[in-house]
Amino acid sequence: MLIKTIFAGFGGQGVLSMGLNLAQAAMLEGKNVTYLPSYGAEVRGGTANCTVAISDEEIASPVASSPEFVVAMNQPSLVRFQNQIQSGGLFFINSSLVEAELSRGDIEVISVPANSIAEELGSPRSANMVMLGALTKKSNVVSLPSVIEGLKDTLKNKPKLIAINKKALMAGYNAV
């Protein structure tokens, strides 16, 4: 099993954090993982994306030319990655910011109003965790408890941040 996922959006949306949290959860489950971040020079407000590859065996290349899953946090990310996802893949769209429809009929589109859900939770910056929760449920690549456990490592045991992000993960998980 080799599963590749691309997370994409503007810098500052937590795109790289989503990928890092997924990678951490997979490592906690004893899987082989690669994490490949990519972002523009301006970072915040510029484009950002990362690729996470998860496998039961060694991973030869972290590049995802045709990923199984794509998470698009904004319109430019939808446009950029809509033709790269493999047939039968899951394309997660932050419907709070993405309005265009995908023209492909061979993939499943999961629309999650991540920004709206995060604002309802009182934590607008946690839209990324809402999307990660939705991906966790629909993809079954890692378990929700592993993602939550991984937060402790990626957030360096900051209880307040862990609690907020856990709440957002759960909301995204329950939204799909």
Residue 166's pLDDT is 96
Cα separation of 98 and 52, whole Å? 23
What range defines the domain where residue 42 resides? 2-175
- Looking at the DSSP assignment, which residues form a beta bridge with residue 112? 94
- Regions of the chain short of the pLDDT cut 50: none
Q: What is the pLDDT of residue 106?
A: 95
Tabulate helix, strand, coil % of the chain (nearest 5).
Answer: 40, 25, 35
CATH number of residue 133's parent domain: 3.40.920.10
Q: Determine the pLDDT at residue 42.
A: 52
pTM of the model: 0.93
Instruction: Name the domain count of the chain.
Output: 1
Strand ranges of the sheet holding 2-10, from the earlier edge strand across to the other edge: 32-39, 47-55, 2-10, 69-72, 90-94, 108-112
pLDDT of residue 62: 76
Q: What is the pLDDT of residue 155?
A: 87
**DSSP symbol at 102:** P
Q: How far apart are CA 116 and CA 64, in angstroms?
A: 30
